[in-house]
Structure 1
Amino acid sequence: MPTTASPFTDIVRSRRSVRKFLPDPLSPSEIRGVLEDAQAAPSNCNTQPWTVHVVSGAARDALSKELLQADEEERFSYDFTFDYADFGDGAYLDRAHNHAATVYQAMGIPRSDRAARKAAARENLDFYGAPHVALLFMPVFGDGVRAAGDIGMYAQNFLLSLTARGFDGIPQTMLGFYADTIREFLGVPEELKLLFGISFGTADPAAPANSFRMGRVPLEHSVVLHETPGVLDEQ
């Protein structure tokens, strides 16, 4: 069996989350190709629990307007909770804080400038200028964890397919803060819950927000080996 790096390895390790896009849309065939790749994701008992709404053009602009208005009026509607306090006081919170600091530093926004930070966060609601956004909805089976895991695998296929085709995307938890607004706009039934969205298109190469890459912790921080010697000795 081959042990050298493959094109797949290059794709996985070059994927990044983009926070400023060019306005150029993907072609219908390009979007379909990404969706077909995503559809190949595994799922528990082959339930394939994803319902995906892809929004572009005038509908994309109108949805952004609705989201920005909902944010102005503080009309938050979460299908799933989100609170930094839930990360605890250890490594997870430290990583979240480091992520925020890296993003804002790249954008030239100091920690003390709360107004600029809020404005930067609101760019989520204009999909960072991307021409397309995919909203990922799921049914809730039991506690919802297994379906959410399936959606995560679908989303990873989606993101890697974009990278393989020369495009970019960003998964956005913040879009899930306005689930009712999005459901009403798209005509989605209440029983389908919004986990997150993915804005996608072509990265703006000149944008400061795209000038960095987030690191990952060393393997030994995440992996425990049992009778699998030598793996963590490799450099």
Structure 2
Amino acid sequence: MPTPAPSFTELVRARHSPRQFQPTPLPAADIRGILEDARTTPSNSNTQPWHVHIASGAARDSLSEALLKAYEEDRPSADFATGYGNGVYQQRSHQHAAVVYGTRGIQRSDREGRREVVRENLRFYGAPHVALLFMPILGDGVRTAGDIGMYAQNFLLSLTARGYHGIPQAIVGQYADTVRASLGVPSELKLLFGISFGVGDRTSPMHDIDVGRVPLQQSVVLHDTPGVLDER
């Protein structure tokens, strides 16, 4: 008997971000199917503002080398400012870091160990492919960035539906000039982030780490919508 297809709820809750991949490339037909799924994403006035570059093989290796060089030489070139403030968002970021570094056995005082985690990011965690998500600046860019976020979620869910894995990587966007130079992307296209993808390495302790999610009560406010947040 064939295995029943997962429901959407099962699919979206199964998606996670492994931090170690097998090196085997995905079939070209599957990558094409993932891109076909992702292009169905809704966008503001149907502008479809996503510009996606996929790097594999030698191009992927060359990009990784360029990113590592920019990191070691302290040459960040982000198109967008980063930061988490001083409140709950910063706390969540710190909790996330504690889980990731803790799983690797890296202490907060281990500066070189923490730098090696950054290098692993820029090696795309060993994934055979990386998608770089660029956008034009339309207006203040906020709606366009939201469209790119929805595109990325479709891309990630399509990977999951096919038995593959992906991890969004904001750190790649910190070296936008390096990525543009490596891939020949024009300067008017701004880099939001990358998605490394392939088959997760289930033998790695970094495959199934759980960074957690806040309860609904911390992110949802209901207006005349009774019963949704009742205890179950």
The verdict on a shared fold, with TM-score over 0.5 as the criterion, is yes
TM-score, normalising length: structure 2: 0.96
Deviations 1:106-128 (A, max 9, x none): 11111111110110111111111
Aligned length: 227
Residue 124 (structure 1) aligned with residue 117 (structure 2): no
Deviations 1:147-199 (A, max 9, x none): 00000000000001101100000000000111011101111111000000000
Q: Name structure 1 gaps, 5 residues minimum.
A: 1-5
Deviations 1:64-118 (A, max 9, x none): 11111111111111100113xxx22221111100000001111111111111011
SS in 2 for 1:211: coil
TM-score, normalising length: structure 1: 0.94
Give the equivalent residue in structure 2 for 1:54. 54
Residue of structure 1 aligned with 2:96, choices 78, 99, 119: 99
Q: Name structure 2 gaps, 5 residues minimum.
A: 1-5
1:234: how far off? Answer: 4.6
Moved more, 204-213 or 30-39: 204-213
Residue of structure 2 aligned with 1:179, choices 159, 176, 179: 176
On the 8 A contact 1:106/1:211 being kept in 2, the answer is: no
Moved more, 43-52 or 74-83: 74-83
After TM superposition, list the pairs within 5 Å mapping 1:26-65 onto structure 2: 26-65=26-65
Query: What code does the residue aligned with 1:218 have?
Result: P
After TM superposition, list the pairs within 5 Å mapping 1:72-87 onto structure 2: 72-83=72-83, 87=84
1:215: how far off? Answer: 1.2
SS in 1 for 2:149: helix
| Percent of matched pairs sharing the same residue | 65
SS in 2 for 1:40: coil
Q: Distance in 1 between matches of 2:180 and 2:121?
A: 17
Q: Distance in 2 between matches of 1:60 and 1:24?
A: 13
Give the equivalent residue in structure 2 for 1:214. 211
1:211: how far off? Answer: 3.5
Query: What code does the residue aligned with 1:217 have?
Result: V
Q: Distance in 1 between matches of 2:15 and 2:70?
A: 31
Moved more, 167-176 or 104-113: 104-113
- Judging by fraction of residues, say which structure has more helix: 1
Give the equivalent residue in structure 1 for 2:201. 204
Residue 153 (structure 1) aligned with residue 153 (structure 2): no
